[in-house]
Amino acid sequence: MSFSELGLIPEILQAVTDAGYTEPTPIQRQAIPVVLAGHDIMGGAQTGTGKTAGFTLPLLNRLARHASTSASPARHPVRALILAPTRELAMQVFESVKMYSKHLPLRSVCIYGGVDMNPQIQELRRGIEIVVATPGRLLDHVQQKTIALGQVEMLVLDEADRMLDMGFIPDIRRILSLLPANRQSLLFSATFSDEIKKLADQMLKNPQLVEVARRNMVSETITHIVHPVSSGLKRNLLAHIVRHEDETNQVLVFVDTKFACSRLAHFLERHGISADSIHGDKSQQARTETLENFKSGKVRVLVATDVAARGLDIEDLPSVINFELPHTAEDYVHRIGRTGRAGKKGKAVSLVSSEERHRLADIQKLIKLEIRQEIIAGYDPEPDFFDGDSSKRRRSPSPSAAGRADDRPAPDRKKRNEREAPRETRERAPQRGRQASHVASDGFDFNKPYEQKESSASPAAQSTSTDVPSQKAQRPIAFLLGGLGRKK
Ligand code: AMP
């Protein structure tokens, strides 16, 4: 199927061609006709599926009838509101809006916190049809009466489950109360807990379920490996691994806390490895700069928290390292989704101390894979790591993988079992509500990961609310990650 078969206007088709897309991704095939027909959508999708274009293209198509070259602000009221949980995601969505609307006289702005409000106010005064915003800053503008939402026709709530994680649902409810009841609403979420379902009930009218790429499916091109290691040795093991990687390979390292994030990046820097960190305490400008430096290859290792990394549009990386395993197994899938894209090979390395073994068990259960464990010589785990499971003990077989003397920490054995950093509260996000599962009458469990289904059916057939994603995947997951079919 081509984009031209989806009913999009020439200006938008041109922008799609300019972007180099040759065919719509499954979420786009499903969502675009439904949005064009004016229906509300409950969509399950995560970053990498092409969902942004899936809602932006038809949104622009619907707003195109209002497009006006008039300079008068009155001719450019806010007609579409796109809410995203993080500044980074909002900026990325905004970039997409700009890119896809470049042949249309529609104006857009991105509004997020942590920066001066005045430039945003100036933009809004000019008259803007499409506002991409994080909830908190949007409400600041509402309070200051620098934005009027009375003419909003379309609302998109992106990554609703992240909104929930980050405590934004009350803000969302406030925003909903400010919008005209007669509007089209699209809600995207990767999972549908009871709370998200409640929000969807409040926000959507007769929504069509747009089924998505399976969420918890891990690319088969990824090699997973666990290095059991005592927590006190992790930093040194990380430096050791990075040094033994190909010099040109960039690495994304995940940690649990903002504090650990900066400390670890400094540690690597001190050991001659160019590294930087990205977390929620950094100013927007610093985060943007860090990301740019990583993307351009100036920085080899980016240390990130889950929240800061969410939605970052980082191209495929050869490896992702979990300095600590995430608290929820789903976050493991998110994290390693940064590697092994588009059929390329990827490596997901996890440094696991004995107190993280239960997390490892959850992850293995979710991804249905027993991950190979390998101790790197000189970087042993705590003595109780294999308690009750001695069959797992495996040592690094090759001398090349063994620790070099200069990678070893100061030989203070006693210190080895100490944690390298005090635990602090995780960056705002984490406790994904594990709530009672919501099983629809047709047997579809909204709390379960999505399973990909065949994309051969017509879009209309795929987008009814009674769809059950039961069929087996035919397209490789790389396609769903937006990696295939794109002109270089
Ligand atoms: P998203 O899931 O919206 O974050 O998109 C993930 C990536 O896929 C982005 O880099 C998009 O530019 C890219 N993308 C979106 N739609 C397509 C398409 N139809 N073909 C190829 N790449 C796409």
The per-residue pLDDT for 31 is 94
**Triad 229, 232, 238: Cα angle to 5°:** 60
In this predicted model, which residue has the larger pLDDT, 187 or 393? 187
In this predicted model, which residue has the larger pLDDT, 38 or 412? 38
Least reliable range by pLDDT among 98-102, 281-285, 382-386, 426-430 = 426-430
Superfamily of domain 222-398: P-loop containing nucleotide triphosphate hydrolases (3.40.50.300)
User: At residue 394, what is the residue type?
Assistant: R
Q: Which of 2, 8, 12, 25 to mutate to test the pocket of ligand 1 (most atoms within 8 A of CB)?
A: 25
The per-residue pLDDT for 121 is 96
| Confidence band, pLDDT 50/70/90 cuts, at residue 192 | confident
pLDDT(281) > 70:
yes
Pairwise CA distance, residues 314 & 388, whole Å = 40
Percent of the chain with pLDDT over 70: 74
The per-residue pLDDT for 444 is 33
Cα(48) to ligand 1 centroid in Å equals 6
Cα(213) to ligand 1 centroid in Å equals 13
**Triad 154, 155, 159: Cα angle to 5°:** 145
Asked if 128 and 107 count as a contact pair (C-beta separation under 8 A), the reply is yes
Asked if 430 and 328 count as a contact pair (C-beta separation under 8 A), the reply is yes
The per-residue pLDDT for 8 is 96
Q: Which residue has the tokens 């290691």?
A: 229
The per-residue pLDDT for 353 is 95
Cα(322) to ligand 1 centroid in Å equals 26
pLDDT(309) > 80:
no
SS3 sequence, the chain?
CCHHHHCCCHHHHHHHHHHCECCCCHHHHHHHHHHHCCCCEEEECCCCCCHHHHHHHHHHHHHHHHCCCCCCHHHCCCCEEEECCCHHHHHHHHHHHHHHCCCCCCCEEEECCCCCCHHHHHHHHHCCCEEEECHHHHHHHHHCCCCCCCCCCEEEECCHHHHHHCCCHHHHHHHHHHCCCCCEEEEEECCCCHHHHHHHHHHCCCCEEECCCCCCCCCCCEEEEEEECCHHHHHHHHHHHHHHCCCCCCEEEEECCHHHHHHHHHHHHHCCCCEEEECCCCCHHHHHHHHHHHHCCCCCEEEEEHHHHCCCCCCCECEEEECCCCCCHHHHHHHHCCECHHHCCEEEEEEECHHHHHHHHHHHHHHCCCCEECECCCCCCCCCCCCCCHHHCCECCCHHHCCCHHHCCCCCHHHHHCCCCCCCCCCCCCCCCCCCCCECCCCCECCCCCCCCCCCCCHHHHCCCCCCCCCCCCCCHHHHCCCCCECC
Cα(227) to ligand 1 centroid in Å equals 34
| Confidence band, pLDDT 50/70/90 cuts, at residue 279 | confident
What does pLDDT average to over the chain? 78
Cα(53) to ligand 1 centroid in Å equals 7
- Among the atoms of ligand 1, which is closest to the Cα of residue 25? 19
Smallest CA separation from ligand 1 atom 19, residue: 24
Q: Which of 1, 13, 21 to mutate to test the pocket of ligand 1 (most atoms within 8 A of CB)?
A: 21
Distances (CA, A) of 365 to 159, 254, 352, 358: 25, 21, 16, 11
Which of these, 130, 47, 146, 157, lies nearest to 92 by C-alpha position?
A: 47
Half-sphere exposure of 456 (CA within 13 A, CB side): 6
Smallest CA separation from ligand 1 atom 8, residue: 482
The per-residue pLDDT for 342 is 57
- Among the atoms of ligand 1, which is closest to the Cα of residue 92? 4
Which of these, 297, 312, 306, lies nearest to 251 by C-alpha position?
A: 297
Q: Which of 18, 52, 86 to mutate to test the pocket of ligand 1 (most atoms within 8 A of CB)?
A: 52
In this predicted model, which residue has the larger pLDDT, 217 or 30? 30
Cα(121) to ligand 1 centroid in Å equals 30
pTM of the model: 0.56
Please list every protein residue whose CB sits less than 6 Å from any atom of ligand 1: 21, 24-25, 28, 47-53, 313, 482, 485-486
Cα(445) to ligand 1 centroid in Å equals 27
b or e along 198-214 (b: 16 or more beta carbons within 10 Å of the residue's beta carbon)? ebbeebbeebbbbbbbb
Cα(307) to ligand 1 centroid in Å equals 21
pLDDT(408) > 80:
no
Smallest CA separation from ligand 1 atom 20, residue: 21
In this predicted model, which residue has the larger pLDDT, 118 or 390? 118
Pairwise CA distance, residues 282 & 472, whole Å = 43
pLDDT(135) > 90:
yes
- Among the atoms of ligand 1, which is closest to the Cα of residue 24? 19
In the chain, where are the structural domains located? 3-211, 222-398, 437-488
pLDDT(462) > 70:
no
The per-residue pLDDT for 133 is 97
Least reliable range by pLDDT among 77-81, 246-250, 271-275, 352-356 = 246-250
The per-residue pLDDT for 312 is 64
Residues 34-57 pLDDT 10s:
999 999 999 987 666 788 999 999
Asked if 303 and 261 count as a contact pair (C-beta separation under 8 A), the reply is yes
The per-residue pLDDT for 396 is 58
Smallest CA separation from ligand 1 atom 6, residue: 48
Q: Averaged over 67-89, what is the pLDDT? A: 88
pLDDT(99) > 80:
yes
Which of these, 42, 31, 33, lies nearest to 187 by C-alpha position?
A: 42
Smallest CA separation from ligand 1 atom 1, residue: 50
Cα(145) to ligand 1 centroid in Å equals 35
Residues 333-381 pLDDT 10s:
878 877 766 556 788 999 999 999 999 999 998 888 899 999 999 999 9
Cα(217) to ligand 1 centroid in Å equals 18
Q: Averaged over 211-217, what is the pLDDT? A: 55
| Confidence band, pLDDT 50/70/90 cuts, at residue 385 | confident
| Confidence band, pLDDT 50/70/90 cuts, at residue 111 | very high
Cα(192) to ligand 1 centroid in Å equals 23
Shared fold status for 3-211 and 222-398: yes
Cα(52) to ligand 1 centroid in Å equals 7
The per-residue pLDDT for 453 is 33
Which of these, 96, 224, 231, lies nearest to 156 by C-alpha position?
A: 96
Fold of 3-211: Rossmann fold (3.40.50)
Residues 250-272 pLDDT 10s:
899 999 888 889 999 999 999 99
103-107, 394-398, 480-484 — most confident range:
103-107
Q: Which of 28, 486, 488 to mutate to test the pocket of ligand 1 (most atoms within 8 A of CB)?
A: 486
Smallest CA separation from ligand 1 atom 5, residue: 50
Which of these, 218, 471, 469, lies nearest to 367 by C-alpha position?
A: 218
Percent of the chain with pLDDT over 90: 47
Residues 424-454 pLDDT 10s:
333 333 333 333 233 333 333 333 333 333 3
pLDDT(18) > 50:
yes
The per-residue pLDDT for 104 is 95
Least reliable range by pLDDT among 24-33, 112-121, 379-388, 463-472 = 463-472
pLDDT(207) > 60:
yes
